């Protein structure tokens, strides 16, 4: 038998030269397309090339299988193995470098996901506001309600029995260790609420709604304590530096949990699991950004609020952050030219 021919087990005779001549054009075209993708990106391919790419890849895999089974030219087998490996990573692997993926996330994926949850975000914010209003009215009318909402040790002395001087000192004395403790508690509390509000959304969004309501109750109860002593505006300014970012993050996390819960409760015409998966993709993207928002809030809480002690400056910073998030999510971010 000629060295250029091999016998498939139980099959026809394979001529290596003829085999190569039949498929050479397909291999070379796939090689050219993959090389173009490696140098640039998949956007470098035209519509015709994109349609041809899967077929060329499958044909080359089949050629590799035949070449291995018939022990054809070793150099040909190595070439086909390398070509199939390169094609696999370009077709199924990560296409863009990390910096490009991050740019795409911030420019399109994250704001688009948050904007798609605007109804749930509005519901989450309204629930928080209603709960805060209810707690404020309860504590104003009966201060003992404060202790039913916020534990005394967590309040760190900021309760209905505190004097105006003590409460004022906690807002402006950057060296007050209790201030740092309470601020850390607020950040930790809100972060936990955000994470659990998302994670427990699958339970028909009931735990999510309860967590959002509880977060609002805590905020309203604490505001009532300061407002009773004539420090409502001062407390609001103290909270705004990091609070606008932090509470916005909680609202978005609650929205993500509500979206998943509604998808599970009302799947529509698709299977319940499929509905949950589809909702989870968008909610998960939004939640990934929420973690970053909480990080920004932590930086603002740890640095800005401690060093900026003027009410006007605090209001300006807090308002600027809130305005920036609104513009980013709902007016600019995610818009493709």
Model pLDDT for residues 55-87, shown as the tens digit of each residue: 999 999 999 888 888 766 788 888 899 999 988
Ranking 8-12, 202-206, 314-318 by mean pLDDT, the lowest is 8-12
- Hey, CA dihedral for 307, 311, 312, 317, is it positive or negative? positive
Number of domains within the chain: 2
Closest to 190 (Cα-Cα) out of 209, 218, 169, 229:
218
Same domain, yes or no: 85 and 123: no
Is there a domain that residue 119 lies in? yes
Same domain, yes or no: 307 and 164: yes
pLDDT value of position 2: 47
Question: What mean pLDDT is predicted for residues 162-183?
Answer: 74
Closest to 182 (Cα-Cα) out of 245, 125, 235, 129:
235
Half-sphere exposure in the Cβ direction for 120 (13 Å, CA): 30
Domain-ending residue, one of 44, 63, 92: 92
pLDDT at 183 over 70: no
Same domain, yes or no: 108 and 65: no
Whole-angstrom distance, CA of residue 190 vs CA of residue 294: 9
Is there a domain that residue 244 lies in? yes
Same domain, yes or no: 20 and 151: no
pLDDT at 139 over 50: yes
Is there a domain that residue 274 lies in? yes
Same domain, yes or no: 201 and 140: yes
Same domain, yes or no: 121 and 80: no
Whole-angstrom distance, CA of residue 149 vs CA of residue 164: 21
The interaxial angle of helices 16-39 and 47-69, nearest 10 deg, is 140
pLDDT value of position 181: 61
Ranking 123-132, 244-253, 303-312 by mean pLDDT, the lowest is 303-312
Is there a domain that residue 314 lies in? yes
Same domain, yes or no: 231 and 134: yes
pTM summary value: 0.71
Question: What mean pLDDT is predicted for residues 182-199?
Answer: 79
Same domain, yes or no: 190 and 80: no
Is there a domain that residue 131 lies in? yes
Whole-angstrom distance, CA of residue 182 vs CA of residue 153: 10
pLDDT at 129 over 60: yes
Is there a domain that residue 50 lies in? yes
Same domain, yes or no: 162 and 277: yes
pLDDT value of position 233: 96
Is there a domain that residue 337 lies in? no
The answer to whether the CB of 305 falls within 8 A of the CB of 183 is yes
Same domain, yes or no: 23 and 48: yes
Question: What mean pLDDT is predicted for residues 177-199?
Answer: 74
pLDDT at 182 over 80: no
Domain span at residue 37 reads 5-92
Domain-ending residue, one of 73, 92, 111: 92
Computed over every residue of the chain, the mean pLDDT equals: 86
Whole-angstrom distance, CA of residue 103 vs CA of residue 80: 35
Domain-ending residue, one of 62, 92, 122: 92
Same domain, yes or no: 18 and 61: yes
Same domain, yes or no: 306 and 179: yes
């Amino acid at each position: 038998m000629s060295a250029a021919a091999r016998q498939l087990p139980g099959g026809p005779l394979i001529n290596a030269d003829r085999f190569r001549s039949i498929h050479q054009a397909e291999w070379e075209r796939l090689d050219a397309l993959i090389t173009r993708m490696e140098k640039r990106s998949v956007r470098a391919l035209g519509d015709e090339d994109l349609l041809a790419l899967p077929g060329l890849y499958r044909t080359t895999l089949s050629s590799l299988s035949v070449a291995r089974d018939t022990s054809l030219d070793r150099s040909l087998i190595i070439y086909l193995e390398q070509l199939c490996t390169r094609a696999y990573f370009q077709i199924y692997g990560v296409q863009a470098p990390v910096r490009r993926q991050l740019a795409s996330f911030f420019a399109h994926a994250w704001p688009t996901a948050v904007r798609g949850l605007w109804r749930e975000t509005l519901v989450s914010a309204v629930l928080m506001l209603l709960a805060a209003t209810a707690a404020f009215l309860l504590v104003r009318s009966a201060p003992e309600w404060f202790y039913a909402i916020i534990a005394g040790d967590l309040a760190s002395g900021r309760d209905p029995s505190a004097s105006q001087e003590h409460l004022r000192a906690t807002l402006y004395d950057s060296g007050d260790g209790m201030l740092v403790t309470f601020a850390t508690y607020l950040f930790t509390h809100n972060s936990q609420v955000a994470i659990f509000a998302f994670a427990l959304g699958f339970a028909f969004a009931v735990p999510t709604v309860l967590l959002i309501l509880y977060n609002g109750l805590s905020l309203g109860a604490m505001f009532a304590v300061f407002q009773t002593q004539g420090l409502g505006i001062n407390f609001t300014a103290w909270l705004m530096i990091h609070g606008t970012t932090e509470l916005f993050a909680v609202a978005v996390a609650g929205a993500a949990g509500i979206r998943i819960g509604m998808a599970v409760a009302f799947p529509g015409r698709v299977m319940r699991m499929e509905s949950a998966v589809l909702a989870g993709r968008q909610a998960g993207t939004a939640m990934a950004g929420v973690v970053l928002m909480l990080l920004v809030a932590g930086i603002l809480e740890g640095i800005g609020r401690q060093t900026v002690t003027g009410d006007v400056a605090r209001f300006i910073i807090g308002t600027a952050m809130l305005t920036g998030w609104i513009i980013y999510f709902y007016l600019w971010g995610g818009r493709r030219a």
